[in-house]
Amino acid sequence: MRKGLTIGEFATVSHLSVRTLRRYHEAGLLEPATVDPHTSYRYYRPDQIATAQVIHRLRELDVPLAEVKALLATDDPQERAGLISGHLRRLEAELDRTRAAVGSLRRLLQPEAAALEVQLRSVPARTVAAIRDRVRREDALVWFDGAMTELDAAFPPAGRDGPPGGQYANELFTEGAGAMTVFRPVRHPSARGRIEVVELPPVELAVTVHPGSHDDIDVTYGRLGSWVVAQALGVDGPVHETYLVGPRDTADAGQWRTELGWPVFRLGGDPRPGETRS
């Protein structure tokens, strides 16, 4: 008497490997219909092929096994569709990143552009309206958009006092996450929602302007850092960005102008007492 399809037969008809089926069993993703308690042989029913197909497709889309499991666990087709379209959005975002990297790589391999114009600037303390948070790198762009939109809504053009900016801890780039601050200088700062009134401390900056899309902004950061080192200065503290012309001003990324500032200190000198060099 046959108890069902053996794992090998099931592998053949489902186009999955035996190993993979065992792993899906172990992960609770696709339990065999019966498991012989004596021999531990796995036996599958033909109607489980359909489930195997769905898993196969989801895995082709790199949906993690845990997510596949969650997806299969719910019967609510609405929730299912939500999970799937969520993943498709992530795929889209990744595709955008890939496109950006391709473009940036192309530009990177061109013969070097004009020399970087850098100046040292002492920025006095300023009081601004700001939103701060610890953010993971993959969430950075979404968080930025949300925060900047909130700032823009809270302070209409008449109340603004210069272009918006941001400060980003270096760990945000070198590690997986870090503190982000976006701010707007405004005539009458006031807290509401996530917005706080923040006094930005005075700082000595090495400043340059990055033209165009932000896709290769870290190339300019690298060149700026290289300049700083060549001046026998040390870099220190979060990077400063000022959006002279940004996505909120024109959709043409070629027109954007972003001022990049890196806090510096004289080597062998005083790294601004009261702050640690991060």
State the CB neighbour count (10 A cutoff) for residue 180: 22
Rounded to the nearest angstrom, the gap between the alpha carbon of residue 166 and the centroid of all alpha carbons in its chain is: 16
Q: How far is the CB of 40 from DNA (least distance, A)?
A: 3
Q: How far is the CB of 128 from a copy of itself (least distance, A)?
A: 25
Candidate residues 94, 175, 199, 252; the one interacting with DNA per rule CB under 7 A:
175
* Ramachandran bin of 264, using left for φ above 0, alpha for ψ from -120 to 50, beta for the remaining angles: beta
Q: Which is nearer to DNA, 40 or 110 (CB)?
A: 40
Please report where in the chains the tokens 């006092």 appear, as a residue.
161
Q: How far is the CB of 110 from DNA (least distance, A)?
A: 24
Tell me how far apart the alpha carbons of residues 268 and 250 are, in angstroms, rounded to a whole number: 44
DSSP secondary structure string for all residues of 18-45: HHHHHHHHHTTSS--SEE-TTT--EEE-
Q: Which is nearer to DNA, 122 or 276 (CB)?
A: 276
The tally of CA atoms less than 13 A away on the side-chain side of residue 39 is 7
| List of residues contacting a copy of itself (CB under 8 A) | 2, 5, 9, 11-18, 46-47, 49-50, 52-54, 56-58, 60-61, 77, 80-81, 84, 88, 91, 95, 97-98, 101-102, 104-105, 108-109, 170, 173-175, 218-219, 221-223, 225-226, 228-230, 234-235, 267
Residue 231 binds DNA, judged by CB under 7 A: no
Q: Which is nearer to DNA, 113 or 229 (CB)?
A: 229
For residues 264 and 228, the answer to whether their CB atoms sit within 8 Å is yes
Q: Under rule CB under 7 A, which residues in 58-77 are in contact with DNA?
A: 59, 64-66
Tell me how far apart the alpha carbons of residues 67 and 274 are, in angstroms, rounded to a whole number: 46
Rg (CA), the chain: 27
Q: Decide which of a copy of itself, DNA, none touches 221; Cβ closer than 5 to 8 Å per partner kind.
A: a copy of itself
Residues of this chain that interact with DNA (CB under 7 A) are 2, 6-9, 17-20, 22-23, 36, 38-42, 59, 64-66, 175-176, 267-268, 270, 276-278
